[in-house]
């Protein structure tokens, strides 16, 4: 936004400036801001009364303006319409607070709904996503594409996170390149910008200008990204059988208590182990385990990557996993010897044995056939 002039809404003492004072500062600068004014320092919509008063003061100036905000800004459609009526043309969102809602469970569907609500009010969105934060898996790139496309983000901005991550530099660089390439395909540009209003047409032209200066070669997703996409959707637990906790001293749960249980999986590449790590979280039954195996096979394809299953997030396991599933896949597990390993398996097996009073089904296969990752 090179032709926009930045003005802070926060004074030197850290308090909000009066809207009249902000307008008095902006007025002499309009000649040096051919595109408009960007208001920074305060997230739009967090103080509704201040936001309404600011909109009315800025509307008297007759200039275009944009303002920093977050997804909370989409909660009040009336305020968004008031901002549009008084000259606001865009909301600047991210990287903090995080538009991907990673600290709140990562519900990108809810985030995309808020972004669509902002677009329906007539405002464009500029969303900055910092990728490669601690805890990010290889699926963060696909989730970013989904958020920007489903949320109709007019101007997505991608950047490397400042905090160190377990993700390797090469994996992050390839992921960023693939994400940017995917967001600037013809189909993605049309889906994100639309062509209903003059502002939409301007956003589309700006996106095509960005597309022209990008590298021409296509960026391919990494094996970890393909796998993360394949296992991204949670698997519902359907079996009504007894479940055993992986926590020491926990009581056994019946199948009726698992009606709202899920199995979630995340994947990322660990360079220190030279392997793709799949972390499981939640509850596992035989049906969910079979479904996960099918997804992993589809995600990896013919790749020869070493696989590590991290069971540190598993809370309960059905007895059918310890009996029927392991017996069905014993031969396949033997074939994968050397390519398949487990992490945090020892503590989980010890807890299972204790909760089953020492009677652990298929104990020999579990203890000798399954290699523990170092």
Residue 288 in any domain: the answer is yes
Band of the pLDDT at 374, cuts 50, 70, 90? low
Mean pLDDT throughout 114-127? 94
Residue 67 pLDDT greater than 80, yes or no = yes
Count up the domains in the chain and report the number: 2
- Domain boundary (213, 236, 267) is at 213
Cα–Cα distance measured from residue 275 to residue 154, given in angstroms and rounded to the nearest whole number? 37
Q: Are residues 73 and 106 in the same domain?
A: yes
Residue 367: its pLDDT value, please?
65
**pLDDT tens-digit readout, 4-14:** 889 999 999 99
Phi, psi dihedrals of residue 129, rounded to the nearest 5°: -115, 120
Cα–Cα distance measured from residue 77 to residue 209, given in angstroms and rounded to the nearest whole number? 31
Residue 374 in any domain: the answer is no
Percent of the chain exceeding pLDDT 70 equals 92
Residue 46 pLDDT greater than 70, yes or no = yes
Residue 246 in any domain: the answer is yes
Q: Are residues 231 and 320 in the same domain?
A: yes
Q: Are residues 40 and 119 in the same domain?
A: yes
Q: Are residues 159 and 266 in the same domain?
A: no
pTM recorded for the entire structure: 0.87
Residue 272: its pLDDT value, please?
83
Q: Which domain holds residue 351?
A: 223-369
- Domain boundary (180, 213, 246) is at 213
- Sign (positive/negative) of CA torsion 168, 170, 173, 178? negative
Percent of the chain exceeding pLDDT 90 equals 59
Q: Are residues 229 and 201 in the same domain?
A: no
Residue 314 pairs in a beta bridge with 282
C-alpha separations of 365 from 31, 271, 277, 283, 294 in Å: 76, 28, 21, 21, 21
List the one residue out of 226, 224, 192, 225 whose CA is nearest residue 207. Answer: 192
Cα–Cα distance measured from residue 323 to residue 337, given in angstroms and rounded to the nearest whole number? 20
Residue 218 in any domain: the answer is no
**pLDDT tens-digit readout, 304-347:** 889 999 999 999 999 999 899 988 888 887 777 778 888 998 88
Q: Are residues 45 and 182 in the same domain?
A: yes
Q: Are residues 262 and 338 in the same domain?
A: yes
Task: Say whether 113 sits in a helix, a strand or coil.
Answer: helix
Residue 66 pairs in a beta bridge with 38, 90
Cα–Cα distance measured from residue 137 to residue 220, given in angstroms and rounded to the nearest whole number? 17
């Amino acid at each position: 936004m090179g032709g926009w002039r930045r003005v802070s809404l926060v004074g030197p003492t850290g308090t909000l400036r009066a809207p009249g004072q902000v307008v008095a500062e902006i007025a002499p600068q309009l000649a040096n801001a051919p595109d408009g004014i960007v208001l920074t320092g305060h997230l739009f919509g967090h103080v509704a009364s201040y936001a309404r008063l600011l909109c009315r003061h800025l509307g008297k100036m007759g200039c275009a303006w944009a303002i920093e905000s977050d997804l909370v800004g989409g909660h009040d459609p009336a305020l968004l319409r008031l901002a549009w009526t008084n000259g606001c043309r865009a909301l600047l969102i991210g990287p903090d607070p995080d538009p991907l809602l990673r600290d709140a469970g990562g519900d990108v569907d809810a985030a995309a709904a808020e972004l669509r609500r902002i677009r329906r009010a007539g405002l464009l969105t500029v969303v900055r996503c910092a990728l490669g934060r601690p805890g990010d898996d290889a699926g963060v790139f696909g989730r970013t594409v989904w958020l920007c496309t489903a949320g109709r983000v007019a101007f997505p901005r991608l950047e490397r996170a400042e905090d160190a991550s377990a993700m390797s530099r090469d994996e992050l660089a390839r992921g960023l390149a693939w994400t940017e390439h995917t967001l600037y395909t013809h189909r993605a540009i049309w889906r994100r910008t639309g062509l209903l209003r003059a502002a939409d047409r301007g956003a589309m032209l700006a996106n095509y200008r960005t597309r022209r200066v990008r590298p021409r070669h296509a960026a391919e997703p990494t094996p970890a990204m393909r796998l993360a996409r394949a296992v991204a959707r949670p698997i519902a637990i359907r079996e009504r059988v007894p479940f055993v906790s992986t926590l020491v001293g926990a009581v056994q749960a019946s199948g009726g208590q698992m009606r709202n249980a899920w199995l979630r999986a995340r994947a990322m590449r660990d360079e220190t182990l030279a392997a793709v790590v799949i972390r499981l979280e939640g509850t596992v039954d035989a049906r969910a385990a079979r479904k996960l195996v099918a997804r992993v096979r589809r995600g990896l394809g013919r790749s020869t990557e070493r696989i590590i299953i991290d069971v540190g997030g598993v809370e309960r396991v059905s007895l059918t996993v310890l009996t029927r599933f392991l017996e069905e896949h014993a031969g396949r597990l033997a074939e994968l010897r050397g390519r398949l390993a487990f992490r945090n398996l020892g503590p989980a097996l010890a807890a299972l044995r204790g909760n089953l009073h020492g009677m652990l089904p298929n104990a020999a296969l579990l203890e000798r056939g399954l290699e523990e990752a170092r």
